[in-house]
Amino acid sequence: MDEREVREQKLAELREAGTNPYPPRLDTPRTHTIAEALAQFDGLAAAKTSITLTGRIVLSRDKKVIFMNIEDGTGRIQLYFRPDDFGEAFAEVRKLDRGDIIAATGFLFVTRTGERSLHAQGYQLLAKSLRGLPEKHAGLQDVELRSRKRYLDLIANRDAELPVFVARARTISALRRYLDDHGYLEVESPILQPLFGGATAKPFVTHHNALDQDMYLRIAPELYLKRLLVGGIERVYEVARNFRNEGVDKFHNPEFTMLEFYEAYADYTTMMQRTEEMTVAAAQAVLDGTTFTWQGQQIDLAPPWRRLTLHDAIAEYTGIDYDQYPDKESLSAVMREHGIPFDPHRGWGRLIDELKDAMFRSADPTLLQPIILYDYPLDLSPLAKQKPGVPGVVERFQVHLAGMQLATAFSELNDPQDQRARFEDQLRQRAQGDDEAQVLDEDYIEALEVGMPPAGGVGIGIDRLVMALTDRDHIREVILFPTLRHADPS
């Protein structure tokens, strides 16, 4: 019989003997987590206090006595079982398998080899495991399998993987705390939307049967949050799950998490400061400092961050002054000469975005440090306000960290007539083949016509920030359940 069949046979024997292998509750309630027991070890051991611990069996050594290691959500401890304490029932202890979840009651002591342990005087099977676990010494090595079966990854590679997701939770908590402390209100906007908007991206489309209309999974919460500025909520934010029907690579997952926040009577310079401060707050919460190593490179988040106009940065790192190529044809020609790949369906502004991406694909280590690129082409930024006195340029910035685009922000466009013209230009770009260009949202225009105060807004990629802070170079490593192709059933 294979291992699964042996375990199923044990399960059947337990049931035939009248034992419930999946009881609804503990016979003896848990008194301590493993971490608590270890923290209080000396006092509990000296008093021989009876305690109950719970956890999954991750290691078992069966000799005259049985030593088991169990893990709960806080740590690991060794259990010691001896025949004298169980009599004939010791044979049942021997049937416990690695992976089973148990409760053990007894007292703490130190073995002759110096290991702090629980001398078990009773136990209860809480959940019988029917599948073997990955070998503990080797871990779970297959990267795709680790992402596909995260529960196994967390069991087999606990010490390496759990801290990443603890760091993710602390990052989000720190960002929320910063915004809450600065008077922002957290809200929720629709995920299922009648019209997509707020970003240049291709949406997922579904159909609502009762309404008999197509709907879209949101690509960004931006246009709804700015409606709330119109409604008088002057500082607003959302930790939003967004969905974009795009490729999967090191920096992109079709389902991802963004923090977006908007502040009335602010502009993009205010939001630069906010972004610096809250990123530092997240680093302090996760790392207790502002310096860390990412892929072997030392990074320092201490403000002020380096600031360059987008134009000057691209000219410095690619050698192309895009102001000298004011149309799609001339810019695409010089990009071709420099061997920079681009999508021929995209307009002049989107080609500049591809130039920026090419810049960050270079091996220049200075581009791993936090950098703010500001003042973007209007053609690339249909939701940003024009920079006074600089035709064709808008007040927009992006933050790059560890070579990744971390945040994008605007002085928000609140002129409804200008916004309509921008949307109409986006529609022309869609007609020319750019299926990521934005669409015209009449309801949003109507909201702007009611009147939206001048404002600044920021979107921060949570996944990428966590990648930087935890030294991970693939987005699927910081998402518990990333999007993957269906596994081959064969």
What pLDDT shows up at residue 436? 81
Residue 466 has pLDDT above 60, yes or no: yes
Distance CA 462, CA 282 (A): 11
96-104 mean pLDDT: 97
Rounded mean pLDDT, 340-347? 86
pLDDT at 213 > cutoff 70: yes
pLDDT tier, 137 (very low <50, low <70, confident <90, very high otherwise):
low
Mean pLDDT calculated for residue range 349-370: 90
Q: Give the list of residues 6+ apart from residue 441 with CB closer than 8 angstroms, or none.
A: 195, 197, 223, 423
- pLDDT band of 489, cuts 50, 70, 90: low
Residue-wise pLDDT tens digits, 34-55: 999 999 999 999 999 999 999 9
pLDDT at 192 over 90: yes
- In this prediction, residues 256-266 reach a mean pLDDT of 98
What is the chain's mean pLDDT, rounded? 94
What helix, strand, coil percent values describe the chain, rounded to 5? Answer: 35, 25, 35
Quick one: average pLDDT of 219-244?
97
* Residue 192: partners with Cβ closer than 8 Å, 6 or more residues away: 206, 208, 215, 216, 217, 218
Q: What is the pLDDT of residue 434?
A: 81
Read off the pLDDT of residues 394-414 as tens digits, 9 standing for 90 and up.
999 999 999 999 999 999 999
pLDDT of residue 63: 86
What pLDDT is recorded for position 132? 86
Q: Count Cβ neighbours within 10 Å for each residue of 386-419 and write b for 16 or more, e otherwise.
A: bbeeeeebbbbbbbbbbbbbbbbbbbbbbebeeb
The alpha carbon of 111 is separated from its chain's Cα centroid by a whole number of angstroms, namely 42
State yes or no: pLDDT of 253 exceeds 70. Answer: yes
Q: What is the pLDDT of residue 1?
A: 77
